[in-house]
Amino acid sequence: MRTTVSWGALPVLTLCVLLGPVAAGLWGTLLPAFGHLPAAGQTGPTLAPFADLLAWPGLARSVWLSVFTGLTATALSLGITILIVAGWWGTRPFVWVQRALSPLLSVPHAAAALGLAFLIAPSGWIGRAVSPALTGWDRPPDWLIINDPLGLSLIAGLVAKEVPFLLLMTLAALGQADPTRSLRVAQALGYGKVTGWIRCVLPRVYAQIRLPVFVVLVFGMSVVDVALILGPSTPPTLSVQIVRWMNDPDLARRLTAAAAALLQLGLVAGALGLWCAGERLAAWIGVRAIARGGRGRGERALRGVGLSMGLVGAAAVLGGLAGLIVWSFAGFWGFPDALPDGFTLRNWSRQAMALKGAAADTALIALAAVTLAIVLVVGCLEAEHRRGRTLTQRGLVLLYLPLLVPQTAFLPGIQTLLLSAGAQTGAGPVILAHLVFVLPYVFLSLADPWRAWDARHGRVAAALGAGPGRVLWRVRLPMLLRPVLTALAVGIAVSVGQYLPTLLIGGGRIATLTTEAVALASGGDRRAIGVFAVAQTGAALVPFAAALAIPALVWRNRRGLHG
Amino acid sequence: MADGLILHEVAIARDDTPLIALDRTVGPGDVLTVMGPSGVGKSTLLAAITGTLPPGFSLSGKIWLDGHDITRAPPHRRRVGILFQDDLLFPHMSVAQNLGFGLRPGGTARDRTRLIDLGLMDIGLEGFGDRDPATLSGGQKARVALMRMLLSDPCALLLDEAFSGLDAALRIQMRALVFDRARARRLPVLMVTHDEEDAQAAGGAVIRLG
């Protein structure tokens, strides 16, 4: 009986690890928002922080920017994802799309944003490629393409990274939706491919990817690193302004930041509400369209739009990465030359010291967070298996919750709490903060393959006299080596990409490849930016390569495991 | 209590709906065949005996094996061997490692290797120890699965459509092999199947469900 109790405790512990920091952070935001911050000599309650916030002249613009960029990026990402899958499911181009997915996903947001900036800035690669032949430029014009006041390049950067994520989630959902037969029926009834897919398959699939879409919306509205790199700066999005206030040497500014964080929470809730209303509207329009029975027009154009948008997005991420690599090895590179005069290792050796320190911190935090995450996730899944109870829909929402609360709403609160408690900021709290974001992704990555394992192997092993522990260690984990390593790689990529938790919880004392790359972004040293962004991408990418290579090597003589 | 497998007033219900009820004794070396269409709870009966009933099912009555009450024993302490339609060899282990996983603990490394080699010889697969199970033929896999189960020294044998996945010639061979070994070791055998030929080859009592 004892073992049953302890296995039941694991999911509870996991939920505490996930939700504890979120709840504590929100509490730590709530208090200073109402003027209570003893560390800064302030005691509340008072509404003064909100008055200060309202007095900030940039407020209306920055609120509008957050909502506009978040909603637009999400709608575009979802639209492109749907067009790609609806138009190209089961075709050869779709196989290419699937192949490109993993590398696109593993490029961290910050590196993708920096790469995009290197492409589309007036002095970027695209500008150089067409200059002076087409433009007549012999020096870059003073155009605000990145950091444009409408946030368009911010939207572009978000869309390029979110389409692969939504594609992956859609592909996972399609596994259960039986699209092939539905589509065959729809096409036999005279519906075009895209129209048939949207009317027959999408409603089922969308129900499955709804939470990931919400995650994209919340992330888009509250992201800091991408907005710092690509977004407008006077005023910036609300999230960026919150971080500016948090980093202000004047501690009283933290009260304004807390009030803004609560506003951010409200904005996100409002945007989610708006999105849900949009869902209803879309469903209503869809039902009417189905009732009218139109067979769809402009199929070819829709398919073309979907694929070309997808290609442009992939090219932006991969081309940007190539640009970062070239810059990191560039010698003298005058405008408008398409390539540098020469290549050198000097940029790397010049950054070697800083790079080594940042890489060590990145690795320490990622490995610690991912180790904790995999232990908790395997524990939860094993508890689920042994107790014969799978996660309910409500449990799934709890798992997604840390991704549905804007980072800027609760991370400042954790920092404030740590500060008030006199606790040292350092690696420990940063690891726990990373764990909050790493754990859901590790769980989502491992849960399906874990549950798909043929449990009769366990029954046979038990009949042969193996206890539950031996079944887990000797049979289940080795058989699931590949998905376990993939989940580890996903977790490492998530941890490597974290900017705000490292910055805020580390109190500026923890420098990872990501915080360094983003810090360099505001300066103009493209070679240094290239070095750190390439290193950051490598740190996220290498584990994926290992997750492919290790099982292939360990099980090279085991054909039954090469699925 | 007597030797053999005793199902004493065993009844299985799913969410309080009665599913299957049985009160039988399978003596050492005897075979009891349970027949019926799919969905009548044949495999559930076997799951109750191996101790792996899914949640939502409840069991009443007693299961005795060689004088021990195993009704509530954990699956790995019951000493009930089971063969499924699929061989379910562990894909990450070699043939010898699969057999070693089944072999009861104890003995020196050399003894264990010898027992595994003898087992391989016994099923005509001498020298196959280092092979990847995925490279074996269907009949070879079935024999390895049988030997893996026998090496664990079970006190009873359950067959869950164990011969359905094999082609006709192989099925006759495997039936002979399994029933011979079970008789030689005086194991009580409980077989669920939908194949009349299985029942005839077993030669024991037959229960028809559904």
* DSSP string covering B29-46: T-EEEEE--TTSSHHHHH
pLDDT at residue A32 in the model:
92
Q: At what angle do helices A513-521 and A526-554 cross, to 10 degrees?
A: 150
Least Cα separation, residue B91 to chain A (angstroms): 5
Is A508 domain-assigned?
Answer: no
Alpha-carbon distance of B50 to A466, in angstroms, equals 13
Alpha-carbon distance of B71 to B51, in angstroms, equals 8
Instruction: Give the number of domains in chain A.
Output: 1
Alpha-carbon distance of B4 to B46, in angstroms, equals 16
Is A452 domain-assigned?
Answer: no
| CATH code of A210's domain | 1.10.3720.10
Which position has the token pair 């805020």?
A504
Least Cα separation, residue B205 to chain A (angstroms): 25
Alpha-carbon distance of A310 to A89, in angstroms, equals 13
Rounded to whole angstroms, the maximal C-alpha distance in chain A is 80
A561 at the B interface (CB within 8 A)? yes
pLDDT at residue A388 in the model:
78
The reply to whether residue B88 touches residue A560, judged by beta carbons under 8 angstroms, is: no
Please determine, for residue B143, whether its predicted confidence score (pLDDT) is greater than 70: yes
The reply to whether residue A465 touches residue B81, judged by beta carbons under 8 angstroms, is: no
End-to-end Cα, chain A, rounded Å: 38
Shortest CB distance from B50 goes to which of A388, A459, A560? A459
Cβ burial of A340 (10 Å; 0-12, 13-18, 19+) is middle
Q: Which of B15, B101, B135 to mutate to test the interface with A (most CBs of A within 10 A)?
A: B101
Q: Which of A451, A459, A475, A485 to mutate to test the interface with B (most CBs of B within 10 A)?
A: A459
The reply to whether residue A463 touches residue B81, judged by beta carbons under 8 angstroms, is: yes
The reply to whether residue A456 touches residue B84, judged by beta carbons under 8 angstroms, is: yes
Phi, psi of A37 (to 5 degrees): -150, 80
- Residues of A with CB below 8 A from B152's CB? 463-465
Is A388 domain-assigned?
Answer: no
The reply to whether residue B88 touches residue A474, judged by beta carbons under 8 angstroms, is: no
Tokens standing for residue A426: 């350092």
The reply to whether residue A465 touches residue B52, judged by beta carbons under 8 angstroms, is: no
- Residues of B with CB below 8 A from A463's CB? 50, 75-76, 78, 80-82, 149, 152, 154
Tokens standing for residue A189: 């009834």
Per run of 10 residues, the mean pLDDT along chain A (length 563 residues) is 64 91 94 87 86 95 97 97 91 86 88 95 88 82 87 96 94 83 86 88 92 96 96 94 93 92 97 97 91 83 91 93 95 88 94 95 97 96 85 83 94 88 81 96 93 94 94 96 95 96 89 95 91 96 92 91 76
- pLDDT tens for A464-507 read 999 999 999 999 999 999 999 999 999 999 999 999 999 999 88
Tokens standing for residue B51: 């101790």
**Alpha-carbon dihedral angle through residues A418, A424, A430, A432, given to the nearest 10 degrees:** -70
Tokens standing for residue A289: 């369209």
Arithmetic mean of pLDDT over chain B: 93
Rg over alpha carbons for chain A, rounded to the nearest Å, is 25
Contact B64, B205 (CB under 8 A): no
B67 at the A interface (CB within 8 A)? no
Task: Report the DSSP beta bridge partners of residue A247.
Answer: none
Q: Which stretches of A329-351 are DSSP H helices? A: 346-350
Tokens standing for residue A162: 């979110």
The reply to whether residue B81 touches residue A555, judged by beta carbons under 8 angstroms, is: no
Q: At what angle do helices A427-452 and A2-33 cross, to 10 degrees?
A: 130
b/e per residue, A150-169, with b = 16+ CB within 10 A?
Answer: ebbbbbbbbbbbbbbbbbbb
The reply to whether residue B91 touches residue A561, judged by beta carbons under 8 angstroms, is: yes
- Measure the CA angle with vertex A369, ends A368 and A374; round to 5°: 100
Task: Report the DSSP beta bridge partners of residue A468.
Answer: none
The continuous run of DSSP H or E covering A217 comes out as helix A202-222
Tokens standing for residue B25: 């004794």
pLDDT at residue A97 in the model:
85
Task: Report the DSSP beta bridge partners of residue B60.
Answer: B11
A552 at the B interface (CB within 8 A)? no
pLDDT at residue A386 in the model:
85
A336 at the B interface (CB within 8 A)? no
Shortest CB distance from A463 goes to which of B80, B86, B133? B80
A394 at the B interface (CB within 8 A)? no
Alpha-carbon distance of A50 to A44, in angstroms, equals 12
Is A290 domain-assigned?
Answer: yes
- Residue A120 CA to chain centroid, in angstroms? 22
The reply to whether residue B76 touches residue A481, judged by beta carbons under 8 angstroms, is: no
Percent composition of chain A: helix, strand, coil (DSSP 3-state, to 5): 75, 0, 25
State ipTM.
0.93
Shortest CB distance from B92 goes to which of A462, A466, A561? A561
Instruction: Compute CA distances A395 → A11, A159, A390, A399, A400, whole Å.
Output: 10, 29, 9, 6, 9
B-chain residue closest to A481, CA distance:
B92
The dihedral of CA A253, A259, A260, A262: what is its sign? positive
- Residues of A with CB below 8 A from B101's CB? 461, 464, 466, 474
The dihedral of CA A520, A523, A529, A533: what is its sign? positive
Contact B26, B188 (CB under 8 A): yes
From A462, A475, A476, select the one nearest B158 (Cα to Cα). Answer: A462
- Residues of B with CB below 8 A from A467's CB? 74, 76
B119 at the A interface (CB within 8 A)? no
Instruction: Compute CA distances A554 → A413, A461, A464, B134, whole Å.
Output: 45, 22, 25, 16
A-chain residue closest to B148, CA distance:
A464
Task: Output DSSP code: residue A40.
Answer: G
Is A396 domain-assigned?
Answer: no
Alpha-carbon distance of B25 to A400, in angstroms, equals 53
Alpha-carbon distance of A557 to A471, in angstroms, equals 22
Q: What is the pTM of this model?
A: 0.92
Is A419 domain-assigned?
Answer: no
Tokens standing for residue B119: 């087992």
Cβ burial of A305 (10 Å; 0-12, 13-18, 19+) is middle
Shortest CB distance from A460 goes to which of B74, B88, B133? B88
C-beta pairs of A244-250 under 8 Å, 24+ apart in sequence: A246/A412, A246/A415, A246/A504, A247/A508
- Residues of B with CB below 8 A from A464's CB? 76, 81, 101-102, 148-149, 152
- Residues of B with CB below 8 A from A3's CB? none
Task: Report the DSSP beta bridge partners of residue B35.
Answer: B193, B208
A-chain residue closest to B75, CA distance:
A462
User: Which of A131-140, B100-109, B134-143 is predicted with the least confidence, judged by mean pLDDT?
Assistant: A131-140
pLDDT band at B41 (very low <50, low <70, confident <90, very high): confident
The reply to whether residue B79 touches residue A460, judged by beta carbons under 8 angstroms, is: no
Alpha-carbon distance of A341 to A333, in angstroms, equals 6
Domain extent at residue A150? 52-325
Alpha-carbon distance of A180 to A465, in angstroms, equals 43
Task: Output DSSP code: residue A424.
Answer: P
Contacts of B155 (CB under 8 A, 6+ apart): B65, B66, B79, B80, B187, B188
One DSSP character per residue, A376-417 reads HHHHHHHHHHHHT-PPPHHHHHHHHHHHHS-HHHHHHHHHHH
Beta-strand pair B205-208/B57-65: unpaired
pLDDT at residue A1 in the model:
38
pLDDT at residue A5 in the model:
54
> From edge to edge, which strands make up the β-sheet containing B5-14?
B17-26, B5-14, B57-65, B68-69
